[in-house]
Amino acid sequence: MKLPNLPEVDGLRAIAVMAVVLNHLGVDGFHGGYVGVDVFFVISGFLITNIIKTEVEETGSFNYSRFYVKRFRRLFPAFFVVALASFGVAFSVFGPRHFTEFCASIAAAVASVSNIFFWVQVRYFDTASTLKPMLHTWSLSVEEQFYLVWPATVAFMVRSKIRPLLFLGLLGVVSLSLNELFRGGWTHHFLVSVSGGAINADGLSTIFYLMPFRIFEFAIGAAIAWMPIRGRTTGPTAEVLSSVGLFMIAYSIFSFTPTTVFPSFNALIPCIGTALLIVAGNARHLGYVVRNPVSLFLGKISYSVYLVHWPLIVFATYITMDDLNGLDKVWIIAATLVLASLLYYSVENPFRKGTRHKLYLTGMATCALALSAASFHAWYNGGWMWRYADNVAAQLSPYREDAINNFVHALKNSSNAQFDNDGRPKVMVVGDSMTGDFMNLLHAASIDRSLDLKSYPMPYPCLPAPVAADDVITSAVPKYADLCIKEAAGFNNAVIDRHPETVVLAAMWSDWWVPEMEKTIGFLKQAGVKTIVIVGRKSISVNGQQFLAQNALHPRISSIDVSRQPAAVELNNIISDHANASGVYFVDAYSLVCPEGRCEIVADNKDMYYWDTEHLTPEGVLHFSSGFKALWEKIEGRKDLALHH
């Protein structure tokens, strides 16, 4: 059944997609632009329910095959074009690990399970979102899974005597209740336990990615289809509803942040705002915001805009190996609109309006099989390593990740024990994987032999803050609040129980720890710790694997300039000032890995020193060990430090 043209819906799509694009580009003020996806979910709930409801009411039945063919025609042709283009670019520029993950994500998107794929991927050494060109397809998979269950649900509501609005309300309450139930920290431990470690997702990732936790958003849109006031709201009432709806969406876009608990109850704000704008679509004055020609055009091409924008951002960031500046963002927006227009008029719209169903299904099946087969072959064969020389392939092998992970964590995890009390200086190194790098350097330089060296390892993003208030930790790391509160208490107890003479703090420091620094130092001194050493961050501006993959043919790859990460440099300076004021020794890790501001990350023989932007490889630890030994001897030579007996 064909619905009448609803210009306000296209206008809402325009607001939604531009909010998402500007958010993904990191444009200031649009930190909550991700709510554009939720606007789309409400629109889908309204439109799909209207289509199904109208057909069942008018014909007494529902043609499921026709419905799914139309959905496929609407979504898949444009997706396949973008996926194929992305495959070609990824083949040309991605290293084996990133290409392998990309190919797996392509297969997941074709199977409409990419939301589940990216949810399962959430883990410590997970690839950054800016290296996942298909990440945005998670929302398409949520919609496609919704399409699987919704036709039968709506048909049931139409044919039964149940009150639709009551039924939808109950669905929404159940979905929201699941959000509240699963968003807590216990979810992480439960999923790890049940899956045997295969799933490491936290509660907030679970409610963000999985379809059941989004049902209430679709239900809000569906409810509008049963509201008798829909389409009849005019005059002052429509203006008021439109103004409230616009305010709610704008508030969400400009006030929400990446740390806002979402979706849960916070998602009700943009979702109800969207519903109000659909209900009051006839508003004469404020309705023009969503009915003007620009909004209507952007709304018409919004799906193509959504498909195109994220791969452009990912590949631009990957190729330039730098953050996007203002001019870069302007070019990406322009390129997105041009390419999306071409995609809409040459692919999306013609395929959507075509009538040759069998030919279409055959074509789509062929594309799906071909793309899936190529992706599977590349994934199965480790990202097509034949693209590289043997020595580079060995460095970039995706199978090396487990070895690097074990190397970084093995020594620090095995050293989490009581001191030997054999007369050597008792040194406890505390922190996340940076503790692993620090202890590996101590070992490679043979310094650990003269120390009674132990550790207290903490999982990222938890930081050594033994006396921080629970609400401070909760505000800083809401996803991991329970875990980090527990770890802070564990560090506190370890210091009191083990009585270290020296404590070395090494972690991926964050701004929130700076106000806790003096409290931490005070606690350690009060506990009898004689020497406190804080190791600064050593973050670099590029990913080691990415750098080698893109420069593998360069004859003198070590001569290519790689800079320090500006935010880490600034944070190091702040921590260093506080350390000096508190009589604490600060170790500038950059003086070791980035002498004179130029970082050493790959040797001319293609040995990688950095695995990513933070962690050292075994080759890196060996390379920097001699410089580290000199650095440590400088520390050890200070008479006021308890590093010698």
User: pLDDT at position 606, please?
Assistant: 86
End-to-end CA distance of the chain: 86
- 559: closest CA among 509, 504, 604, 594? 604
DSSP summary character for residue 347: I
CA distance 180 to 621: 44
Q: How many CA atoms lie within 13 A of 124 on its CB side?
A: 18
Q: Looking at residue 110, what DSSP letter applies?
A: H
Q: Residue 638's pLDDT is what?
A: 60
Under 8 Å between Cβ of 455 and 435: yes
* Residue 488 burial (C-beta neighbours within 10 Å; 0-12, 13-18, 19+): buried
pLDDT score for 367: 80
pLDDT score for 4: 63
Say if residues 591 and 410 touch (Cβ distance below 8 Å). Answer: no
Report the relative pairing of strands 531-535 and 585-587 from DSSP bridges. parallel
Q: Where are the domain boundaries for CATH 3.40.50.2300 in the chain?
A: 394-540+564-589
Fold (topology level) of 394-540+564-589: Rossmann fold (3.40.50)
- Contact in structure between 117 and 108 (CB atoms under 8 Å): yes
Segments in the chain below pLDDT 70: 1-4, 123-127, 185-186, 188-189, 191-200, 229-234, 354-358, 360-361, 637-645
**What pLDDT is stored for residue 528 in this prediction?**
94
Instruction: From 460, 597, 609, select the one nearest 545 (Cα to Cα).
Output: 609
